[in-house]
Amino acid sequence: MVPFMRLQTILEARWILGVFALLAVVCGLFWTWTFWFFLLLFLCTVAFFRDPKRTVPADPNLIVAAADGTVMDITESDENQVLKMKTRRVGIFLSIFDVHTNRAPIDGRVIYREHRKGLYFDARRPECSEKNESMTWAFENPCVTVVVRQITGAIARRIVAWAKIGDELKKGDRFGMIRFGSRTELYLPLNAELLVKVGDHVFGGSTIVARLPRS
């Protein structure tokens, strides 16, 4: 298997990889440069669908990033879909160069998963949070419920869900992915101590985003 890739992730790319491989072979019979062109596209696709292992902090009071990317904004926001209360929202923008696998921010059970149709604004625009196609998740344990929202972008048009309601996930476990540039949001309790700031680059499953108060 290709290093840093898993079967489940590779399957999401099988048609793209197959087309580029076929085009490289067929077109390469007539024009050598096309072989290298499609081979490059094939390798770029492999790089995009990479899915490396991550070191996950064990402390149950620590909340980790649900995605790789850059923290674009941190705001207080009403989360009206699941929690129906004011939360602290951390918005992470994923460029095409980031790993696009999404990971559970806490140990917990999936208690909510809901897809919403929408538009495809650039994932860096503020209005994309409310208007773009999205998938909302909620992870619950005895200490906290954390909501994660996968949001499509101008390029990303497919949200993939691997987990389902009722699944028990460990912090850092993969629950889905978004193909190509996109946005992932975490909705955290206001009493959580925030440990990232706007502009930070985070890694899903390993970067500590917030710390819950000790019980």
pLDDT score at 181: 65
> Is the model's pLDDT at 2 over the cut of 50?
no
For the annotated catalytic residues, the residue numbers are 182
- Alpha carbon distance 107, 92 (integer Å): 20
User: What count of residues does the chain have?
Assistant: 215
Q: What confidence tens digit (pLDDT) does each residue in 167-177 have?
A: 999 999 999 99
List the domain range (segments joined by +) for residue 87. 62-211
The answer on pLDDT for 182 being more than 90 is no
Closest CA to 64 of 108, 102, 106: 106
Q: Are residues 148 and 186 in the same domain?
A: yes
Question: Cβ-count burial of 23 within 10 angstroms (0-12 exposed, 13-18 middle, 19+ buried)?
Answer: middle
pLDDT of 108: 97
- pLDDT, one tens digit per residue, over 22-46 is 888 888 888 888 888 988 988 887 8
pLDDT at position 18 is: 86
Question: Which CATH number does the domain housing residue 176 bear?
Answer: 2.70.70
Query: What does the pLDDT read at residue 200?
Result: 98
Rounded CA separation 99/8 (Å)? 14
Same domain as 17, residue 104? no
Task: Answer yes or no: do 135 and 36 share one domain.
Answer: no
Res 172: pLDDT: 97
pTM, whole model, 2 decimals? 0.86
3-state secondary structure (DSSP) of residue 137: strand
